């Protein structure tokens, strides 16, 4: 009977020790489902104005001297009527002014969506970094 008592005491001690060990368990955490969307939009406006001015002045003169040669043999030589060409003169004055104006406006929209499942305290849904 002493063996039965010894084994009985060992069994009771084993049960006591086993009951002192914290049993395994799990706490349930919340699960989140979603479909977040990231939206970005931007607008730009541009205004441009420029002015240009150009002036061109030209003068041209061509003069043949009085050769003193008569137009026909036997004719008298006169200063205004000879074989030389008359004087040619030309003067040009040009002015150009240009003004140019631009206006541009653009709008851009972008959207990105992705599904996710977050379990527990997930700081970034869908990526599993539960800090």
Each domain of the chain, given as residue ranges in start order, spans 45-106
Class of residue 118 by CB neighbours under 10 A (exposed 0-12, middle 13-18, buried 19+): buried
**Can you say whether the dihedral through the CA atoms of 68, 69, 72, 75 is positive or negative?**
positive
pLDDT in tens, 41-90: 999 999 999 999 999 999 988 776 665 565 566 666 665 555 556 678 88
- Angstrom distance (rounded) from CA 20 to CA 12: 12
- Angstrom distance (rounded) from CA 125 to CA 34: 8
Query: Can you give the pLDDT at residue 51?
Result: 95
The model's pTM: 0.34
Query: Can you give the pLDDT at residue 130?
Result: 45
Report the mean per-residue pLDDT for the chain.
Answer: 78
């Amino acid at each position: 009977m002493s063996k039965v008592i010894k084994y009985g005491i060992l069994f009771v001690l084993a049960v006591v020790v086993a009951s002192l060990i914290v049993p395994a368990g799990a706490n349930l955490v919340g699960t989140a489902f979603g479909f977040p969307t990231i939206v970005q939009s931007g607008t730009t406006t541009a205004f441009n104005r420029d002015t240009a001015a150009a002036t061109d002045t030209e003068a041209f003169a061509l003069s043949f001297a009085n050769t003193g040669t008569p137009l026909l043999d036997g004719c008298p030589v006169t200063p205004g009527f000879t074989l030389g060409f008359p004087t040619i003169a030309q003067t040009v004055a040009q002015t150009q002014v240009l003004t140019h104006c631009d206006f541009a406006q653009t709008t851009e929209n972008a959207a990105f969506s992705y599904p996710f499942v977050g379990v527990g305290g997930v700081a970034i849904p869908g990526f599993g970094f539960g800090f």
